[in-house]
Amino acid sequence: MKNFKHILLLAVAISVISITIGRADVPGILKYQGTLTDTLGEPILDDTYFIRFIIWNDSLSTDPANELWNSNIQTYLVLGGLLEANLGESPTPAIGSDIFSTNGSLFLGITVGTESELSPRIKLTSAPFAFKSALSDTATLALSVPLNSISLSSLTQSSADSGQVIKWSGSAWVAAPDESGVGNISSIIAGSGLTGGGNSGDISISIATNGVTADHIQPGAIGTQQIAANAVTALEIDANAIGLSEMDNDAVGGPEIINNSIFSIDIVDEPGLAQGRATTIIPLSKSTMTDLTTVSMVTPASGFVFVQGRATISLDSTTGSNFAYMQIIVNSTGDTVSGIYTKVGATNYPSSGQFSFNCTAQRTFFLLAGPQTFRLEAKFTASSNSAEASAVFPILTAIFFPTSYGTITPVADDPGDKPQSSNSANGNSRGADE
């Protein structure tokens, strides 16, 4: 069995030279030298051997948790029994200086070929721990300076005039005025509308979200010179952010509005119109209301909708009583609604021929924003089963108004009971508003 005598050396001279010349980092290499002998103490044959070095933080443990550095298996040429290895130099992994700065006791383990690790492990002494003393030469220089040997009188003026100090400009030392205050700031507290502050370290102050309110802006503080062109867009103004309370009377007039700067898309509750019509003659029923035409619209805001319907009502096939009822409604009920419908017709006719009446109906609704559908519908009643009625080319128009300028009251007209012949088409009608 082979014996392995080992000696651990550190290239101290190399380290010192490296620090002295340009203060380069201390080389992270442990130089190892040892002699490999057989059981008789004779150097082994000259050859190449497989050898592994491991730095442990325990003298006996083989737990991987105690392994701090591993050279991996490397080949080394042994001549005359002498083995030399630079641990931490390629191809072995680098040795971090933190190994020596964070561990009190370290041990070097060596394994040759397939044999067990040599025992005992080598305890690393103070020399390897010089890894963490890369600038210790500056401390030696400081110790060589006598106490209180440097005073202010030893310093030169360095081009500084009276009241100036030497400051670092970022690239050189220069003479500059001394900046002095009248006291120390103990803390910075964010006031109204601000966020941030503190009493140590770097401190920042910024405007809080929604921090600037009307209380922080004096009258006349913001004018056209303070607002760059196109600086305020729709993205900077929340919905309903500007109301009557934010605007003085006559604040916005013609000079403040550029031509073509406001379009219908910019006015969310502008007036609007929708219309529906039928291009056919629609027979009427005695038993239930018949839809003549409908009109739908989406109101952008709460407001008033004025709805007006018109149709020519044709009554015929009887000399007795024959009347038609027409009304505007949102949800059909199938029958007339008191105070809403318009009635046209007569109790008797000079003949059983066809008689026409112009019939109109109108209503005013106050509705919330959203989709709306209005119906123009009609039915008829007659004393004779042979009587007939129809609506010719009905039209329904709905107009939205965002506001009103006065009281809205119902209005009714009495059309009377005077029929007109079919070639006259000038019948009267009764209308009611709601």
Higher pLDDT, 19 or 346: 346
Residue 143's pLDDT is 58
Higher pLDDT, 406 or 297: 297
Closest to 46 in 3D by CA, of 87, 5, 83, 8? 83
Q: Which DSSP category does 59 fall into?
A: S
Name the token pair of 109.
Answer: 């383990």
Sheet architecture: strand order including 342-346: 290-299, 370-382, 322-329, 342-346
Task: Identify the CATH number of the domain in which residue 305 sits.
Answer: 2.60.120.760
Residue 215's pLDDT is 80
**Is residue 320 scored above 80 in pLDDT?**
yes
| Most confident by average pLDDT, 6-10, 12-16, 163-167 | 163-167
**Is residue 131 scored above 60 in pLDDT?**
no
Q: Which of 226-230, 299-303, 398-402 has the lowest mean pLDDT?
A: 226-230
- How does residue 228 score in pLDDT terms, banded at 50, 70 and 90? confident
Residue 377's pLDDT is 96
Closest to 276 in 3D by CA, of 325, 301, 311? 311
**Is residue 214 scored above 50 in pLDDT?**
yes
Higher pLDDT, 9 or 356: 356
Place of tokens 């931490």: 88
Range of the domain at 289: 272-401
* Residue pair 349/384 in contact by the 8 Å Cβ criterion: no
Residue 190: inside a domain: no
- How does residue 382 score in pLDDT terms, banded at 50, 70 and 90? very high
Residue 369: inside a domain: yes
- How does residue 7 score in pLDDT terms, banded at 50, 70 and 90? very low
Higher pLDDT, 234 or 37: 37
Closest to 116 in 3D by CA, of 59, 38, 47, 62? 62
Residue ending a domain, among 134, 160, 188, is 134
Q: Which of 15-24, 285-294, 304-313, 369-378 has the lowest mean pLDDT?
A: 15-24
How many C-beta atoms lie closer than 10 Å to residue 375's C-beta?
20
Residue ending a domain, among 134, 167, 187, is 134
Give dist(CA 280, CA 283) in Å, integer.
Answer: 10
Q: Is 172 exposed, middle or buried (0-12, 13-18, 19+ CB in 10 A)?
A: exposed
Residue 99's pLDDT is 84
Residue 334's pLDDT is 84
Closest to 117 in 3D by CA, of 125, 106, 108, 127? 108
Higher pLDDT, 184 or 307: 307
Residue 233's pLDDT is 77
Higher pLDDT, 179 or 411: 179
Higher pLDDT, 397 or 11: 397
* Residue pair 8/32 in contact by the 8 Å Cβ criterion: yes
How many domains in the chain?
2
- How does residue 394 score in pLDDT terms, banded at 50, 70 and 90? very high
Name the token pair of 401.
Answer: 């108004």
**Is residue 113 scored above 70 in pLDDT?**
yes
**325-343 residue pLDDT tens:** 999 998 777 899 988 999 9
* Residue pair 190/207 in contact by the 8 Å Cβ criterion: no
Residue 319: inside a domain: yes
Q: How far is CA 216 from the centre of its chain?
A: 27
Residue 413's pLDDT is 38
Q: Which DSSP category does 349 fall into?
A: -
Task: Identify the CATH number of the domain in which residue 118 sits.
Answer: 2.60.40
**267-287 residue pLDDT tens:** 667 788 999 999 999 999 999
Mean pLDDT of the chain: 79
Q: Which of 8-22, 246-260, 374-388, 404-418 has the lowest mean pLDDT?
A: 8-22
Residue 152: inside a domain: no
Give dist(CA 35, CA 41) in Å, integer.
Answer: 10
Name the token pair of 11.
Answer: 């290239």
* Residue pair 209/190 in contact by the 8 Å Cβ criterion: no
Give dist(CA 376, CA 393) in Å, integer.
Answer: 12
Q: At what angle do helices 12-20 and 136-143 cross, to 10 degrees?
A: 70
Q: How far is CA 75 from the centre of its chain?
A: 60
Residue 188: inside a domain: no
Q: Which of 46-55, 141-150, 201-210 has the lowest mean pLDDT?
A: 141-150
* Residue pair 334/288 in contact by the 8 Å Cβ criterion: yes
β-pairing, 107-112 vs 47-56, is antiparallel
**What letter represents residue 245's amino acid?**
S
**Is residue 145 scored above 70 in pLDDT?**
no
* Residue pair 325/394 in contact by the 8 Å Cβ criterion: no
**Is residue 390 scored above 80 in pLDDT?**
yes
Give dist(CA 338, CA 432) in Å, integer.
Answer: 10
Residue ending a domain, among 96, 115, 134, is 134
**26-69 residue pLDDT tens:** 567 888 888 888 778 888 889 999 999 999 999 999 999 999 99
**Is residue 177 scored above 90 in pLDDT?**
no
Give every CB contact of residue 33 below 8 A, 6+ residues apart in sequence.
Answer: 6, 7, 8, 9, 82, 83, 84
Residue 101: inside a domain: yes
**Is residue 25 scored above 50 in pLDDT?**
yes
Residue 280: inside a domain: yes
Which residue stretches of 144-204 are H helix?
A: none
Residue 231's pLDDT is 78
Residue 266: inside a domain: no
Place of tokens 């290895």: 85
Higher pLDDT, 237 or 6: 237
